[in-house]
């Protein structure tokens, strides 16, 4: 009888807080990349997106020094 | 175990009497050198739990716990506290809070900046040497479409921007506590090594190394929970409390790893979390812990 009570008590012990961890980061948010389109610097989600000009324009060129050139056809837009 | 406790209880007074009869009287507690006056401590507490990362809702409750502990154990006055939580913790709001502190902090005061929320390593914009630096993911109603856009548009705050804001303050001693992923990614910006030659004493307590995940459970961030428990155990200074929290947090990560390995569960849960302290001038050893 005592053993049975002990077993029940053990089972009813609440799990420690660490049992359901969640991380304090941005999840699946992409880092993004800079694209250079002539004299305009654009931020896109991926290098592939540079050719689509799906990013938003950014007004200074400092961050665009090593940017991926956007597709030539898109530069005319 | 009880028997051992009995032996300790019975023998301890005898041993103490023997020691006292031969040794000169010693102070009961170790004295803290050049302790910081609690009346000079100010706190800026920022908590950013994002509506687009709804799993984590610990920011508001953890801020309350942190501030209660700061008031009760560190002796911080309630009217020395500025709090920005969730929708009030936007980057412009944090910049405005620093601007207000710049005008209102007394010369020579001590500021503790506590941030709890999300963080991410982004390409460094300064020439600090590292290729990446930590960015604090401050509150926004919706997710930015890319991290570097959030940084360059001012939606998030990098470690180098935070460092610039800190260095403009009239405070002499500044302690930054970051409970977020990759927290040590801000070390070079906030607590650079030449700090010992600067006019300010700046220290950084980080909940995790760069490239490490900081974990939370459903009630609290792991490091904050351990740090506050350690502070409330009232070791002499914040330094000893940090060492305890560091050990406990790393141990929890190891337990998570073992549990994940046993159950074959998600790999994400099996990553280390190692809090670090960057305190070249020993600021944390001057913050005493005691009842108000």
pLDDT at position B231: 97
Whether residue B181 and residue A33 make contact (CB cut-off 8 A), yes or no, is no
Q: What tens digit of pLDDT does each residue of B99-145 get?
A: 999 999 999 999 999 999 999 999 886 555 568 999 999 999 999 98
Q: Average pLDDT in the B259-272 region? A: 67
Shortest distance between the Cα of B16 and any Cα of chain A, in A, equals 39
Secondary element (H or E) of residue A34: strand A33-37
Contact B250, B214 (CB under 8 A): no
* Strands annotated E in chain B: 41-48, 81-85, 110-117, 119-123, 132-136, 157-158, 173-179, 201-206, 215-216, 276-278
Burial B91-117 (b: 16+ CB within 10 A, else e): beebeebbeebeeebeeebbbbbbbbb
Q: What tens digit of pLDDT does each residue of A9-56 get?
A: 334 444 444 456 778 888 889 998 887 776 677 788 887 777 665 445
Per the prediction, chain B carries an average pLDDT of: 85
pLDDT at position A26: 85
Place of tokens 């930054």: B176
Look up the ipTM and state it: 0.76
pLDDT at position B197: 54
- CA quadruple B244, B248, B254, B257: dihedral sign: negative
Contacts of the segment A51-57: beta carbons below 8 A, 24+ positions apart: A53/A77, A55/B145, A55/B146, A55/B149, A56/B145, A56/B149, A56/B153
Q: What tens digit of pLDDT does each residue of B189-238 get?
A: 887 765 555 678 999 999 999 989 898 888 899 999 999 999 999 999 99
pLDDT at position B278: 95
Contact residues, B window 217-236, toward A, CB-based 8 Å cutoff: 217-222, 225
pTM of the predicted model as reported, rounded to 2 decimal places: 0.80
Q: Mention every residue, 6+ apart, whose C-beta is less than 8 A from residue B96.
A: none
From chain A, the residues in CB contact with B179 under 8 A are 24
Contact residues, A window 13-72, toward B, CB-based 8 Å cutoff: 17-27, 29-34, 43-45, 55-56, 58, 63
Alpha helices in B76-211 (DSSP H): 91-104, 147-152, 159-167, 187-190
- For residues A21 and B39, what is the distance between their CA atoms, to the nearest angstrom? 37
Pairing state between β A68-69 and A33-37: parallel
Whether residue A26 and residue B120 make contact (CB cut-off 8 A), yes or no, is yes
pLDDT at position B103: 97
Q: Is B207 exposed, middle or buried (0-12, 13-18, 19+ CB in 10 A)?
A: buried
- DSSP designation for A62: G
Q: Which residue has the higher pLDDT, A74 or B288?
A: B288
Who among A17, A23, A30 is closest to B219 (CB)? A17
Cα dihedral: B57, B59, B61, B63 (round 10): 180
3-class SS of residue A63: helix
Q: Which residue has the higher pLDDT, B246 or B218?
A: B246
């Amino acid at each position: 009888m005592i053993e049975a009570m002990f077993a029940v008590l053990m089972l009813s012990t609440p799990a420690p807080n660490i049992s359901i961890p969640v991380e304090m980061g941005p999840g699946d948010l992409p880092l993004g990349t800079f694209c250079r389109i002539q004299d305009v610097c654009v931020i896109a989600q991926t290098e592939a997106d540079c050719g689509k000009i799906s990013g938003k324009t950014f007004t200074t060129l400092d961050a665009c020094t090593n940017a991926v050139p956007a597709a030539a056809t898109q530069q005319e837009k | 175990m009880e028997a051992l406790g009995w032996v300790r209880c019975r023998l301890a007074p005898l041993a103490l009497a023997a020691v006292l009869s031969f040794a000169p009287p010693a102070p009961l507690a170790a004295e803290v050198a050049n302790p910081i006056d609690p009346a000079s401590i100010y706190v800026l507490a920022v908590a950013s739990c994002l509506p687009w990362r709804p799993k984590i809702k610990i920011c508001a409750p953890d801020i309350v716990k942190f501030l209660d502990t700061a008031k009760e154990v560190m002796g911080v006055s309630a009217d020395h506290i500025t709090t920005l939580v969730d929708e009030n913790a936007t980057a412009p709001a944090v910049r405005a809070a620093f601007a207000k502190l710049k005008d209102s902090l007394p010369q020579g005061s001590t500021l503790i900046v506590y941030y709890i929320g999300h963080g991410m390593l982004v390409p460094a914009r300064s020439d600090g040497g590292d290729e990446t630096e930590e960015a604090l993911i401050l509150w926004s109603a919706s997710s930015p479409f890319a991290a570097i856009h959030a940084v360059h548009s001012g939606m998030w705050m990098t470690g180098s921007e935070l460092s610039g804001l800190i260095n403009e303050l009239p405070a002499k001693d500044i302690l930054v506590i970051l409970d977020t992923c990759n927290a040590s990614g801000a070390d070079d910006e906030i607590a650079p090594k030449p700090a010992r030659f600067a006019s300010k004493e700046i220290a950084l307590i980080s909940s995790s190394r760069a490239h490490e995940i900081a974990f939370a459970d459903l009630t609290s961030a792991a490091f904050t929970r351990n740090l506050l428990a350690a502070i409330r155990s009232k070791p002499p200074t914040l330094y000893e409390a940090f060492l305890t929290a560091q050990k406990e947090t790393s141990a929890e990560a190891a337990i998570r790893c073992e549990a994940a390995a046993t159950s074959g569960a998600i790999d994400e849960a099996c990553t280390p979390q190692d809090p670090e302290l960057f305190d070249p001038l020993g600021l944390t050893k001057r913050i005493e812990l005691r009842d108000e």
